[in-house]
A = this chain, B = another copy of it.
Amino acid sequence: MAVKQQYYSEHPKFHVALDCIIFGFDKGELKLLIHKRRFEPAKGLWSLFGGFLAEGESLENAANRILRELTGLEKIYMEELQTYGNMDRDPAGRVISVAYSALIPAHKYSEEYSRKYGATWVSLKDLPGLIMDHDSMVEKGLRRLKRRASSQPIGFELLPKEFTIPQLQALYEAIYQSKLDKRNFRKKILSMDVLVKLDEKDKSNSRKGAFLYRFDKRKYRKLVDAGYSFTI
């Protein structure tokens, strides 16, 4: 700290905040986890999960702490999206905010937690307006998600360990926001050879039932290491 004073003390300092964009997938829909802001300004309005960077913590740690404090979610892999630093983005003063985002299986976030923390899944189709520049954060996060989904097998980690092909297809359709041909989808996804078919069926969606599959991480790793790039 003494050294810091020596070199940099003439420069101004700023509040640094973190905002967490949590996308989830549930019942064939892409959703966003939001809550009503707990502090002024804009208290009570819909907001992403945000808070301030503290002394002695890295940006990643801060984002994870804030998410945990506000939602109870732990061990979520979030990725930095963008840093927002416009002068007027926060009416209460200059705040530089680093936005992080993650896509999680919505089934991981229980009703119980939702009640306890007041965090709510809202379908992207009927998203309310969010405070400050949170809308544009979400928009940017969604753009990246779509781009990602079309080149990485992003979906596998978002479903329960065992899932059906129609479920996986619904996930991709939700991300792309368009319909896919089920024969072509099945062909493509199976040709990657990273799914293991099980003997059981899931009958929650049809009388006939759909066979359950499991994602083979070892094979997946091998493919990726060999430079294979996925495209749906």
- A residues sitting closer than 8 Å to B (CB atoms) are 1, 3-8, 11-16, 39-41, 52-59, 80, 82-83, 85-87, 91-96, 98
With both chains docked as a complex, state the minimum distance between the C-beta of A62 and any C-beta of chain B, in angstroms.
Answer: 8
Q: For A12, give its contact among B4, B55, B58, B83 (CB under 8 Å).
A: B55
Q: How far is it, in angstroms, between the C-alpha of A96 and the C-alpha of B12 when the chains are bound? A: 12
Specify how many copies of this chain sit in the oligomer.
2
B7 and A39 within 8 A (CB): yes
Beyond A8-B95, A58-B86, A85-B98, list 12 extra A-B contacts (CB 8 Å): A3-B93, A5-B93, A7-B39, A7-B93, A11-B52, A12-B52, A12-B53, A14-B53, A16-B16, A16-B85, A58-B87, A83-B83
Instruction: Kindly state the separation between the CA atoms of A92 and B1 in the bound complex, as whole angstroms.
Output: 7
Report the Cα distance A56→B8, complex, angstroms: 18
A59 x B96 contact (CB < 8 A): yes
Given A12-B54, A13-B15, A54-B12, A3-B92 contact (CB < 8 Å):
yes
The CA of A83 and the CA of B39, in the complex, are separated in Å by 26
- B contact residues around A59 at 8 Å (CB): 83, 85-86, 96
How far does the Cβ of A231 sit from chain B's closest Cβ, in whole Å? 11
Is the beta-carbon distance between A56 and B4 smaller than 8 angstroms? Answer: no
